[in-house]
Amino acid sequence: MPRVETSTPPNTPAPIGPYSHIAKVGRFITIGGTAGVDPEKGQLAGEDVQSQTGQILDSFKVMLSSVGSDLEHIVHVNVFLRRMSDFEAMNEAYVEKMGDHRPARTVIGVSELPKPGVLLTMNLTAVTTD
């Protein structure tokens, strides 16, 4: 039976609860809810949704690299957005980081998120590059 490997790589935001960012089984990868926190400063990357979206995707890039994957091997992304009025701005930052790769995606409006000032979180499923 395959083993579940969990990790939180360096140079990514520290989890705010009792969990690891990454769970990997074979080629299958999941990354839990990630906010736009700059890991060097421990603070939000900015007060706007574009800055936070960009930071989330930068963190995903580091996390995926640590388990043999990259942004182009993302299968599905969930976006939990505080304000649907930020949808277009989030999309602009998302396209800037994701390029032409368009994995399946779900955007869900939420009323609250655990960390003050957070405008969105994302989680994903991906596969390894091999």
Would you give the DSSP letter of residue 15? P
CATH of the domain at 88: 3.30.1330.40
Give 30's pLDDT tier (boundaries 50, 70, 90): very high
> Residue 19's Cα: distance from chain center in Å?
15
Question: Whole-angstrom distance between the N-terminal and C-terminal Cα of the chain?
Answer: 20
Distances (CA, A) of 45 to 21, 36, 37, 48, 128: 18, 6, 5, 9, 28
Give the mean model confidence (pLDDT) for residues 29-38: 97
Q: At residue 113, what are phi and psi to the nearest 5 degrees? A: -135, 155
pLDDT of 104 strictly over 80: yes
Structure pTM? Answer: 0.96
Q: What is the pLDDT of residue 2?
A: 86
Task: Name the amino acid, one letter, at 27.
Answer: R
Q: What is the pLDDT of residues 54-71, one digit of tens each?
A: 999 999 999 999 999 999
Q: How many domains are there within the chain?
A: 1
Which residues form the domain of 122?
Answer: 5-127
Across the chain, what does the average pLDDT equal? Answer: 96
Q: What is the pLDDT of residue 33?
A: 96
Distances (CA, A) of 92 to 26, 39, 52, 69, 82: 33, 22, 12, 23, 17
Q: Which residues pair with 25 in a beta bridge?
A: 28
Q: What is the pLDDT of residue 1?
A: 76
